Amino acid sequence: MMSLPGPSNLKLPATPDDVRAAYRLLLGREAESERAVAHHLNGAPSVGEVVVRIMHSLEYLRRMSARGGVAYGTLDWNDTGVEVAADPAALQRLLAHVTATWTALGEASPHYSVLTNPAYLPAAMDAEREAQFYASAEEEVAMLRRLCHRNGVALAGQSVLDFGCGVGRLGAPLAAIFPRYTGVDVSAPHLGLAAARFAAIGRDAELLPIAAFLAAPGRRWDCIVSILVLQHSPPPVMRWLLRELLDRLAPAGVALIQIPAQLRDYRFSIAHYLADARPGDIEMHALPQRHVFATVAEARCVLLGCMPDGRAGDDGQSCTYVIQRPRGPAA
């Protein structure tokens, strides 16, 4: 049984053999040429950086979708049965359900609820696994930096909002870039572990429950990051929170937000959902892309990029959106 690579291995300089191995493992084929191998070694990347680059290639995303029997880019799943508009009372009930679910998950399996790998279940967690868990954030933030660069902006500024910060996985690499880090989460147990994490690494952080965040609509951040977060909330909550996040983006600020656009056979009815709403397992939801685009426009922001990220696996399409607020007075 192959073991998970440790953080030290991921950070080692990549060799030609590492690139060839990544081709075989991720693309199921040999590298097309030695020139292609050399291309992946430009800039002296680490092993982890090579893996992330290949996983974000169009070939890999097509391969993942094709394994589910659907050619990438030709998905025709019907998303008209997804309700996204809810009145304030229903929104509060939906958010209360999300809060209760993630509070329970934070108490039972905090790290596993963030990255659903059996290695991060409580029974398996030890110092080595914890190190692997937090080391995964380095490549995540490196990918976000490349995504920004590809869209003509920088992952930079004075302040960052890590929305859905969980146990602080992305905290250290983001706090290394931004002098002021704010993490927000619906789960008190997750926030407690995030506070302990920041104390352990000696970094300052502002950690807020979601109620405090929502109660301060006038605050602004230069960068807003939300990865593997909104997908766990019902579509009306997703759209509402997306608007709340964009409204808090400072002029010229950049948001990097991941949301599934489609899931196989996915439907959502507010009435049916609330009739059976109870804290339970990790849920996966989607927000049809037209609603993302409409929300960006309503917030008077600009969509710079929409990068398929493969985070929905074989069962759908997920994208990471790069969104910027124009310079000038905040809307």
Residue 75 binned pLDDT confidence (cut-offs 50, 70, 90): very low
Q: What is the pLDDT of residue 284?
A: 93
Same domain, 165 and 282: yes
* Amino acid at the residue 249: L
Question: Is there a single domain that holds both residue 35 and residue 152?
Answer: no
Q: Verify that 173 and 236 share a domain, yes or no.
A: yes
307 & 201 share domain: yes
Q: At 180, which helix (H) or strand (E)?
A: strand 180-185
What pLDDT score was predicted for residue 124? 92
Cα separations (Å) of 10 from 30, 48, 50, 56, 200?
21, 5, 9, 17, 22
Burial 68-78 (b: 16+ CB within 10 A, else e): eebebeeeeee
241 and 182 in one domain?
A: yes
How does residue 42 score in pLDDT terms, banded at 50, 70 and 90?
confident
Q: Hey, which residues does 303 pair with through a beta bridge?
A: 323
pLDDT value for 166: 96
Domain shared by 37 and 104, yes or no: no
- With respect to residue 62, please indicate whether it lies within any of the assigned structural domains: no
Least confident range from 80-84, 86-90, 120-124, 259-263: namely 80-84
Q: What is the pLDDT of residues 131-187, one digit of tens each?
A: 999 999 998 999 999 999 999 999 999 999 999 999 999 999 999 999 999 999 999
- With respect to residue 267, please indicate whether it lies within any of the assigned structural domains: yes
In a domain, 80, yes or no: no
Same domain, 152 and 111: yes
Does 299 lie in the same domain as 195? yes
Contact 266, 82 (CB under 8 A): yes
125 and 225 fall within a common domain: yes
Q: Report yes or no: 145 and 155 within 8 Å, Cβ to Cβ.
A: yes
Of 315, 261, 228, 282, residue with least CA distance to 113: 282
Kindly state whether residues 109 and 212 are assigned to the same domain: yes
> What is the average pLDDT value for the chain, to the nearest integer?
87
Q: What is the mean pLDDT of residues 246-257?
A: 97
Q: Is the pLDDT of residue 325 over 90?
A: yes
Query: What CATH number should be reported for the domain holding residue 114?
Result: 3.40.50.150
> pLDDT by residue (tens digit) across 88-123?
999 999 999 999 999 999 999 999 999 988 889 999
Domain count, the chain: 2
Q: Are residues 210 and 288 in the same domain?
A: yes
Structural domain including 275 reads 88-324
Among candidates 256, 262, 249, 263, which has minimal Cα distance to 326? 249
Separation CA 217–CA 222 (nearest Å): 15
Q: What is the pLDDT of residues 207-240, one digit of tens each?
A: 999 999 999 999 999 999 999 999 999 999 999 9
Q: How many residues appear in the chain?
A: 331
> How large a percentage of the chain has pLDDT more than 90?
67
Band (pLDDT 50/70/90 cuts) for residue 61 is: low
> Do residue 167 and residue 223 come from a single domain?
yes
